[in-house]
Amino acid sequence: MTTSNNSVEERMLIQEIAKHDLQISALIQDIRQNVKSVEALEDVHMRIKEELKIIKARVEDLDILVKEQDNENQKIQCQNTVDKYRKQLISTQTEIKKARLACKLRIDQNEKEELLLGGLDPELKKRKNKESRAKTASTITENLMSLNKMMQQSVEQSENTNKVLDKSSKGISKAHEEFEKLHRGIRTSGNFLTKYGRRELTDKLFMFLAVALFFGTVAYIIQKRLF
């Protein structure tokens, strides 16, 4: 009954993760196509952060269900599902960073064009361009650092997955060793019973020969005395 309840809860969590992932994809598309200002970009980004927060919580709930699994094979399959969603989460965060960076570059370029078309003072244009380049450089640096952090998280996640698989492999090897020991014990017992059976047959043969010898001796003595 517990396994059935876990399966139902697992399906519900997966459906919720998929729903919020679709919402994030739509918001990323909005950033790429419709966002025209920094304020609008930050507003969409806040909504994405809320969706990401929900997905992370559901993935953690799914991980708790994995730890409650009794069947080892089912546990490995569920763990693979959790690892898949965690990698997908990292990939989604990467896409968000790329979309934000492209959007900021587009907004900066539009601001430059507006400055040029507006006929502003040359010194003011120069200062604005310098500020824009500094802002863009800062944004690129920030996104590169975030991408590097996410790559490190991906490596750590892969290491954790390898540890789980290694643990499962050791469990299987241990069970195989126990089976081999049991098999050797059964084979030894069989050899012992076979040896015991042969010895019993030999003892019976010796007893038969002794009885035959006894009766033969008696017959010989009787024959000598009578004849």
Q: Is residue 13 part of a domain?
A: yes
Total domain count, the chain: 1
CB-based contact 110:44 (threshold 8 Å): no
Angstrom CA distances, 25 to 48, 89, 202, stand at 9, 12, 85
Q: Is residue 205 part of a domain?
A: no
Q: Is residue 150 part of a domain?
A: yes
What string of pLDDT tens digits covers the 227 residues of the chain? 455 566 778 788 888 888 999 999 999 999 988 888 888 888 999 999 999 999 999 888 888 887 777 777 777 877 888 888 889 889 999 999 999 898 888 888 887 777 666 545 556 556 666 666 677 667 777 777 777 777 777 677 767 766 766 776 676 667 667 767 777 767 776 676 676 666 667 767 767 777 777 777 777 777 766 66
How far is residue 63's CA from residue 66's CA, in Å, rounded to a whole number? 5
Instruction: Output the domain CATH number for residue 118.
Output: 1.20.58
Q: What is the pTM of this model?
A: 0.49
Q: Which of 186, 208, 210, 190 is nearest to 198 (CA)?
A: 190
User: How would you class 54 by CB atoms within 10 Å of its CB: exposed for 0-12, middle for 13-18, buried for 19 or more?
Assistant: middle
How far is residue 104's CA from residue 168's CA, in Å, rounded to a whole number? 47
pLDDT of residue 1: 43
pLDDT of residue 83: 87
Q: Is residue 109 part of a domain?
A: yes
Q: Is residue 71 part of a domain?
A: yes
Question: What is the phi/psi pair of residue 142, to 5°?
Answer: -60, -40
Q: Is residue 203 part of a domain?
A: no
Q: Is residue 160 part of a domain?
A: yes
pLDDT of residue 117: 61
Q: Is residue 197 part of a domain?
A: no
User: How would you class 163 by CB atoms within 10 Å of its CB: exposed for 0-12, middle for 13-18, buried for 19 or more?
Assistant: exposed
| Structural domain boundaries enclosing 7 | 2-179
Q: Pull the structure tokens for residue 35.
A: 């966002």
Question: What is the phi/psi pair of residue 120, to 5°?
Answer: -75, 170
